[in-house]
Structure 1
Amino acid sequence: MNLIDTLNWRYAAKRMTSEKVSDEKVTEILEAINLTATSAGMQPFRVIVISDPEIKQKLQAASFNPQVSESSHLLVFASYTHVSQAHVDEYISLVANTRNIPVESLNDFKEKLSGFASMPEEFVKNWAARQAYIALGTALVAAANLKVDSTPMEGFDNAAFDEILGLKEKGLQSAVILALGYRDEGADFLSKAKKVRIPLDELTITLN
């Protein structure tokens, strides 16, 4: 199946069965997330992977969608609440080690990134959350490629999620969540509905 066919197959499943997504497929989706584009490659977010039914049930009480507890795996995209100089130093060391280049050769790059450490907190929070959303898009496509259903969700109590998962202590805040599983065609009235999208020439504005 080509990419467009795969994306036509994909939709936000409203109800999910109890079938589990294999560890191999979950790992592949996570690997795709790890390869997603992010600003300067800094990846200012983490992905909390939850399959424990008890934890999902606690989170269900702080959300508005049954897919939270019905999912095989729930991914919580948690973005940075701040960027410290230590974050920058660690990233620069990673670049140098990965590419086998002197860390000193990255001084100019490091200086630019160090600006994040002095940015207002609200700016950093918004920037980091947008990076998490880019990763969410990659996850949606990766899951569809594996014929794994997914549902992106913003309908949850961020503060409650942060408390249940202990995110504040990690310098993180929940940005968006993604349920992974398999559609329940009997319970989901949209499972066989035709995808509704505006015409491409209405969506796009071409400047020649």
Structure 2
Amino acid sequence: MSAPTATDAKQVPLSAASRTLVDAVRTRYATKAYDANRRLAPEQLDALLTLLRSSPSSVNSQPWHFLVAASDEARDRIAARLEGNFAYNASKVRDASHVVVLCARQRMDDQHLADVLAQEQKDGRFASDEARENQRKSRQSYVNLHRYEQKDEQHWMEKQVYLAAGTLLLGAAALGVDATPIEGFDFRTIDEEFGLRAQGYSSVVMVALGYHSDTDFNAQLPKSRLPQEQVITVL
């Protein structure tokens, strides 16, 4: 008897929650102008911060730190650094409810790896000392791979930060919160403004969060993506 195929499997209908999530992704867009008078509710912010902390990362390395500009003063500090070619992003930062600066570690040092392992132990992820040691060795092998063989340790860590950015954008859409991923800034000036490098981090990408204003032209435009058959191959 031949093995069952994907078409033979029982079709599981989408739940109401799944349909809502898909609809949110289909309708979300990069907000271009924010309503400066509207702010996220505390429970919305808490949910988004939980999503950030719970984001996936390679071998659970969590090589990140998230700086949340919640006050007018903090957002003004960021906006003031958006000069020259990046000045167009200043109003988004000032008018948004919150802005998250997603940062990558400068190095996956031994202390960070020990902290991650200790937290996993505390959270009950290891059934034995052997399991704990196997996890340590596995994670270290990936760090060594990117540090010594592929020599892309920093880039590898930054890719994990982008996984967190994607999680944040998806979560914001599901919660009905508008968002804008922002790469248009000079990371050196943001690092300097908040002393990030002295703390062992460097800014990678920002995400503005809030509610769009009536002047947001992008809110009225249809979403545009390449057709499914062009970007997806099902084997």
Instruction: Please indicate, yes or no, whether the TM-score normalized by the shorter chain is above 0.5.
Output: yes
Separation in 1, partners of 2:198, 2:130: 32
Q: 1:156 to 1:103 in 2, by over 3 A?
A: farther
Q: SS of the counterpart of 1:190?
A: helix
Give the match for residue 110 of structure 1.
136
Aligned alpha-carbon RMSD (Å) = 1.9
Task: State the 1:100 CA deviation.
Answer: 6.2
TM-score by length of 2: 0.82
Give the match for residue 77 of structure 1.
102
Give the match for residue 14 of structure 2.
none
Separation in 2, partners of 1:48, 1:125: 19
Q: 1:104 to 1:169 in 2, by over 3 A?
A: farther
Give the match for residue 158 of structure 1.
187
Is residue 3 of structure 1 aligned with residue 21 of structure 2? yes
Give the match for residue 68 of structure 1.
93
Separation in 1, partners of 2:117, 2:197: 25
Q: 1:53 to 1:103 in 2, by over 3 A?
A: farther
Separation in 1, partners of 2:125, 2:106: 30
1:197 counterpart (222, 225, 232): 225
Q: SS of the counterpart of 1:152?
A: strand
1:29 counterpart (39, 48, 55): 48
Identity %: 27
Task: State the 1:104 CA deviation.
Answer: 5.0
Separation in 2, partners of 1:103, 1:159: 42
The unaligned stretches of length 5 or more in structure 1 are: none
Give the match for residue 3 of structure 2.
none
Task: State the 1:97 CA deviation.
Answer: 1.5
Corresponding pairs, count: 206
Task: State the 1:117 CA deviation.
Answer: 6.4
The unaligned stretches of length 5 or more in structure 2 are: 1-18
2:200 counterpart (171, 184, 208): 171
Give the match for residue 49 of structure 1.
68
Task: State the 1:111 CA deviation.
Answer: 2.1
Equivalent AA in structure 2 for residue 136 of structure 1: A
Task: State the 1:9 CA deviation.
Answer: 2.3
Would you identify which runs of 4 or more consecutive aligned residues in structure 1 move more than 6 Å?
none
Q: SS of the counterpart of 1:99?
A: coil
Separation in 2, partners of 1:153, 1:103: 43
Please show how residues 130-145 of structure 1 align to structure 2 within 5 Å. 130-145=159-174
Task: State the 1:197 CA deviation.
Answer: 1.1
Task: State the 1:61 CA deviation.
Answer: 2.5
Separation in 2, partners of 1:190, 1:105: 50
Deviations 1:68-95 (A, max 9, x none): 1111100000011101111111111111
Separation in 2, partners of 1:180, 1:171: 26
TM-score by length of 1: 0.92
Task: State the 1:205 CA deviation.
Answer: 2.5
Give the match for residue 182 of structure 1.
211
Q: Please identify the structure whose Cα radius of gyration is greater.
A: 2
